[in-house]
Amino acid sequence: MATLPPPKVKKSPEDSLESKVYAMVETFKEYIPTPSDRNRLSYCLYKYLNGEGDAPQILLKTSKINFERISKEELVKKLDDELKKIK
């Protein structure tokens, strides 16, 4: 049985909206320690900025993001503030 290499991933440009959102969510590493939770949140926030998803206060409930050492209200406020800087 052979193990195949992972598929190639095309990186998005550094100045793209997607890269900015993923980089912004990475700054919340201390509150969202699991990488898959950060990736899921980043994807959901990217869709939100494109008009396809829910606002952060709804996302934290529906996407089951695990966060610690911060209340949900504080995290929503921090996310909203950072998203305003990106827009």
How do residues 38-69 score in pLDDT, each as one tens digit?
Answer: 999 999 999 999 999 999 999 999 999 999 99
Q: How does DSSP classify residue 51?
A: T
Distance of alpha carbon 70 from alpha carbon 67, whole angstroms: 7
pLDDT at 11: 83
Is there a domain that residue 73 lies in? Answer: yes
- Judge whether 82 lies within some domain: yes
In-domain check, residue 38: yes
Domain for residue 70, yes or no? yes
Average pLDDT over residues 29-41: 95
Range of the domain at 73: 17-86
- Under the banding of pLDDT at 50, 70 and 90, the label for residue 5 is confident
Contact 82, 24 (CB under 8 A): yes
In a domain, 9, yes or no: no
Q: How many Å is the Cα radius of gyration of the chain?
A: 14
In a domain, 64, yes or no: yes
Would residue 6 count as lying in a domain?
A: no
Structural domain count of the chain:
1
Domain assignment of residue 24, yes or no = yes
pTM beyond cutoff 0.75: yes
> Does pLDDT of 8 surpass 80?
yes
Distances (CA, A) of 41 to 1, 8, 11: 35, 23, 18
